[in-house]
Structure 1
C-alpha cells in the first residue's frame, strides 16, 4: 500500500504567516515604545507636579493657624496627595518597567518575582546569572512578559504554593523557565486555547526567532520556558 506523500505547507500561506508574524512583531514594538513614553511622561510631568504640590502643602501647613479643623483638612489633603502619587507610580510600573533600562533585566526579573511572592503568599525562588545578560531590549521585554504571564497563570490556574524562576544565559541563547508545584495540566490553559496571554508571548518569541513551551502533567506542576537566540555580533 502506497503511503500518501507528506503534506507540505502552501508557499503563499507560509509567506502570509511570515508577514503576519512580522506585522505582529512591529505592532508589539510600537506598543512597547508607546507604553515606555507614556510611563516616562507620567513620571516627568505628573509625578514632578504631585511632588511639588506636596512640598507646597507642607509649607502652607506650617503657616496655618493652629486650628484643629484646618490642620485636619490639611492632613486629609496630604493623605490624598500621597494616594495619588502611589497610584501614579503603580500606573507607571504597569505601563513600563523602568528597571529594564536603568537597572537591567536581572533586577527587573528578581523584583517582579519577589513582589509577586509577597502579594500572593507564594514562595518564589530565583536562580539568575551572576552577570547581567547581554541581550537587546526586545529580548529583555520578552523575558519580563514571559515571567509575568507565567506568574499570572500560577495565580489563576495552578493552585501552587511554590515557584522557581530560572534564567540560563550562554553565548548563543538565553532561556527563562517558570516552574510551579501546582496541579499542572488539570488547571492550566492550553497554549492554543482562547487565553491570549500565552499566545501573545509565544508570538513575541517567534518573531525574535525563539520558542515558548508549556510542559505540564496532572498533579505534577507546570514549566513555562522561553528560549531566545542571541543576535549575532555585528561584523
Structure 2
C-alpha cells in the first residue's frame, strides 16, 4: 500500500522532473513540425530491413520530395526510389528521448536530408516517427489532449494519411528561405546561418482550406503564425 507520505514524495519527484524537462525545452527548444518539413529534402516511408552498427537500412515504400527543384531534385529523386534501400545513422537524442528502439521490420516515416554525401533523419529522433498500422506515433512535438500531468503521457498519434497529405500540401502554402541576418532571438541560441525562415504564401481562403484538411494541417498553420 502506498502511504500518504509516499504519495507526497512521488508527487514532488514528478514535479521536479517536469520542471527540469521544461527548463531543458526552454534552453534547447525542439524544432516544431513546420521547421522539420521546411528543412528536409524529402519525407520517406519504409521498413527497416537490416540493423547495422550505428546505422539501419530502410527499404523505401513511399517518397515525397520537398522544396528542392532543378538538377538537385533530379539527383535526389534518382536516389530515393520506391523499392530501393538507403542507410541512415541511428539518431542520437540530445534534448528529447527516443520513444522506440530500432527493430527489423519496423515501419517508419522519416524526414530526411542529404548531408556530406549520405542520408540522415533531420534533427534526430524529432524527424523520425513510428508507424503502427495506419497511425503515426509522433516523434515530433504534437499537442496531446490526452496527456496526463504525472506519469508518462501517452504518445500523441496522427493518421499516416493526414501527415503525408500535410507534407505533400506544404509547398502550396509555405515557402522556406535561408536567413541572411538572423533575428536576435535566434542569434542568442547560437543558431547557424543555414537556419530557415518559413513564411506563409497563398490567399487567406487557401490557408483556411489548408487548415481544415486535418489536425496536422492546422498544427502547421498555427506554428507558422507564432
TM-score (norm 1): 0.23
The higher relative CO (CA closer than 8 Å, separation ≥ 6) is in 2
Q: Normalized per residue, which structure has more helix?
A: 1
TM-score (norm 2): 0.24
